[in-house]
Structure 1
């Protein structure tokens, strides 16, 4: 049995678990990750080289900490070829998969580079046995762009979909079997969404119309592995808004898919949504297929194992920041010291030997410090003796009162007596519970503005235990 997993990990460096242990726990032979959020300079050895696996990355060339996908293959499922991008525009290796006729003829070079520049695709070529013959299987790991109906990014998203469709057509025309999997950033049917805002226009969105045509029921060449096995299963979601705790009430969407070319339908054994696996705002999806995979004896050049920084051919930055101690004994002549005097020794060290501790603010109000400050005030106002005495007595009285307050209660209580905290949060209308303060992150006139909302987890509008509709702007 061949098991393959897709998972939008929402930052591979944010994982609190050892990657090998995490991958082994998924029970998969090939693991396709999306939204790794790292560029090559951020990739460390423990992430790139996981024992028992080979890895293949595509990085965003536009900005750091953005997008990115990675495919990890068990050593017994090593690919024969690998490349990044939908059109191979950034591949410099000879062992790329090739076959770009349709996709290259339908886009300009500039357009293809723009699609590949965000690090949204990794392809690996595998082989499996079928009736004494060897069949080629291409696994396409994608993180499709996110865009709303009126979003300026929608044309880019649709162009990405079109290029993906054309590249799949090129592979299928060569007799290859294809698996497309990843975060497609579209929920296909009403059953795949917790609560659409506009039910009538839901199936008419450009993204859903594209997916309709890509799948078999719409005349396409692919099958949605989960819906093929479970066509009527409800609340089968793969993504939740974690900022609103929507996963608590399973108030989410299904936007992560494993799509199989029609020839693989007979091999499909199961497809499960691993909603019990946490660590991201998405959960993994795993498909099992009856395929006898043939491992390659040689890894493709795209493998991270061959990166210079991990192959021992390039010095790491850490070697330039080792601790060093330099001893210097300057001559008498340099420092202008008299003949016969003993030379002074000067030591320079990159390592700090002593730490200067910052004095507590409470020490300022000790009797010794207060007296010192009092004397300073008195001295500076020596021209006006009477005023100096009055100021001194006032300062002494104030300091004594504050010091007594601190000594009679905890430091936190003392500060509370000086600084007033924020006003208590309002109560929501639905549950009469303290609200949560949130901040608008979406670009627009209200960006960074704060508001109060019900603190409960988001849920269906009919769920009385879910978040109510209370909303009020916070006072500026």
Structure 2
């Protein structure tokens, strides 16, 4: 038995928990993460080298802090081979799985590079025993592109799906068992969505049509492990809109999958959605599979353990700026230089003495302040008697001037308050008569970055009276 987990972590550096403790709490032998949001220069040692695990990364080569996937394997599940990308475009080493015939023949070189350039796939090859026969298992960790039905990224998303299908078929043709898991960015059936807008055309979207054809029920060679075990389970969601606090009412979608090739269904024991695990807008999904994995005796070249910056082969910037202790040879050289002539030493001593004797600018000001204080004290003693005579005559005049000044300030303040009334108070929503919250439109279009008022409650199903009501008003509208 081994456990495998997929989790869109939404930024691996945003995790507040120690990675080893986090991984151990998941109870998995292989952990596949998506949306790590780091490039290689951002990867630090504590993230790359987690005690008890080996890690394999694919980074985005187009944007920093974007996309990215990583596969962590326990030491008991060392893979035999590993590579990044669906097409192997950036695999410089020879230790790769290979078999890209259909993929390479179906795309141009430019198209292949575009598929792999966003860091959306890591593939690892493992071995398992079945009736004393050693067989191969390939784990394909993917973060599929996100795109709406009319989005300009939709063609790229569909090309990625097509390449994924071709590569998996190439691997199956070699006799390998295959597990495809990750954020597929598509909810398959109506049961996998909290409340779709267009129910009539839901199944006709290009992404769902592709997933239908990829799965066994639509003529493909793979099985959705969760729906295979729980075909009618409702509200089994893996992703929620955290900005709308949608997780409170479980108002989400199921877009994270563990999909296995058909011949592995006999070994599938369970598949659970770990909705109690927080830290991202997604939750982990874990499958238990009755296979005995055999660890490799040597890690593949893609492993972060072999990165120059973590293997001691590449000097870090800290080695150039840290304090260094002189060796005995260097110390003797310094002594010889001193003994060659006494003049430089004398000059240094005289300079040091001069430096000590010279007053700082701060001392100059402090001395000046002290002298001025002394002067003012002596002058005040001389004029003390005359000031007392004048004091009583000025008291009445001062009180009048202060009173006049106060009145002028109060009248000016009233004028300014009449001009600047400040922002109006937030409106109350119609459904609950509660104070609304201010939100900003993020979707591209004529209203992008425009602000509006909405109900402050967590979003939920339209039939849920305790969920957010449909109150909406533009912040710029007069009230």
State whether TM-score is above 0.5.
yes
How far apart, CA to CA, are the structure 2 residues paired with 1:93 and 1:395?
86
Question: Which residue in the other structure is 2:139 paired with?
Answer: 139
- Measured after TM superposition, the shift of residue 424 of structure 1 is 2.0
Per-residue CA distance 1:230-269 (angstroms, 9 max, x = gap): 0000000000000000000000000000000011010000
Structure 1 residues 320, 459: CA separation in 2 closer, same or farther (over 3 Å shift)?
A: farther
Per-residue CA distance 1:421-442 (angstroms, 9 max, x = gap): 6432110000000001111112
Question: Which residue in the other structure is 1:247 paired with?
Answer: 247
Per-residue CA distance 1:289-347 (angstroms, 9 max, x = gap): 000000001000000001111111112234456589xxxxxxx99xxxxx99954379x
Query: 1:17 aligned to 2:17?
Result: yes
Query: 1:344 aligned to 2:355?
Result: yes
Structure 1 residues 320, 433: CA separation in 2 closer, same or farther (over 3 Å shift)?
A: farther
Query: 1:237 aligned to 2:237?
Result: yes
How far apart, CA to CA, are the structure 2 residues paired with 1:398 and 1:341?
59
Q: Structure 1: 5+ residue runs without aligned partners?
A: 325-331, 334-338, 347-388, 403-415
Question: Which residue in the other structure is 2:70 paired with?
Answer: 70
Question: Which residue in the other structure is 2:427 paired with?
Answer: 426
Matched residue SS, 2:453: strand
How far apart, CA to CA, are the structure 1 residues paired with 2:267 and 2:351?
93
Query: 1:169 aligned to 2:180?
Result: no
How far apart, CA to CA, are the structure 2 residues paired with 1:186 and 1:97?
28
Question: Which residue in the other structure is 1:181 paired with?
Answer: 181
Q: Structure 2: 5+ residue runs without aligned partners?
A: 325-342, 345-349, 358-396, 411-416
Query: 1:473 aligned to 2:474?
Result: yes
Question: Which residue in the other structure is 1:459 paired with?
Answer: 460
How far apart, CA to CA, are the structure 2 residues paired with 1:395 and 1:147?
69
Matched residue SS, 2:114: helix
How far apart, CA to CA, are the structure 2 residues paired with 1:9 and 1:235?
21
Per-residue CA distance 1:145-200 (angstroms, 9 max, x = gap): 00010000000000000000000010000000000000000000000000010101
Structure 1 residues 234, 341: CA separation in 2 closer, same or farther (over 3 Å shift)?
A: closer
Per-residue CA distance 1:204-239 (angstroms, 9 max, x = gap): 000000000000000100000000000000000000
Per-residue CA distance 1:393-443 (angstroms, 9 max, x = gap): 6899569989xxxxxxxxxxxxx9xx9764321100000000011111122
Alignment length (residue pairs): 407
Higher fraction of helix: 2
Question: Which residue in the other structure is 2:370 paired with?
Answer: none
How do residues 287-302 of structure 1 correspond to structure 2 at under 5 angstroms?
A: 287-302=287-302
Question: Which residue in the other structure is 1:303 paired with?
Answer: 303
How far apart, CA to CA, are the structure 2 residues paired with 1:288 and 1:95?
28
How far apart, CA to CA, are the structure 1 residues paired with 2:134 and 2:356?
76
How do residues 216-231 of structure 1 correspond to structure 2 at under 5 angstroms?
A: 216-231=216-231
How do residues 139-158 of structure 1 correspond to structure 2 at under 5 angstroms?
A: 139-158=139-158
How far apart, CA to CA, are the structure 1 residues paired with 2:57 and 2:455?
41
How far apart, CA to CA, are the structure 2 residues paired with 1:345 and 1:40?
50
- Measured after TM superposition, the shift of residue 24 of structure 1 is 0.3
Question: Which residue in the other structure is 1:329 paired with?
Answer: none
Matched residue SS, 2:151: coil
Structure 1 residues 465, 344: CA separation in 2 closer, same or farther (over 3 Å shift)?
A: same
Structure 1 residues 162, 344: CA separation in 2 closer, same or farther (over 3 Å shift)?
A: same
Structure 1 residues 395, 278: CA separation in 2 closer, same or farther (over 3 Å shift)?
A: farther
Question: Which residue in the other structure is 1:351 paired with?
Answer: none
How far apart, CA to CA, are the structure 2 residues paired with 1:420 and 1:232?
57
Matched residue SS, 2:79: coil
- Measured after TM superposition, the shift of residue 125 of structure 1 is 0.3
Per-residue CA distance 1:268-299 (angstroms, 9 max, x = gap): 00000000000000000000000000000100
Matched residue SS, 1:344: helix
How far apart, CA to CA, are the structure 1 residues paired with 2:89 and 2:264?
29
How far apart, CA to CA, are the structure 1 residues paired with 2:356 and 2:68?
54
Question: Which residue in the other structure is 2:443 paired with?
Answer: 442
- The two structures, once aligned, show a CA RMSD in angstroms of 2.8
Is the radius of gyration larger for structure 1 or structure 2? Answer: 2
Question: Which residue in the other structure is 1:99 paired with?
Answer: 99
Matched residue SS, 1:91: coil
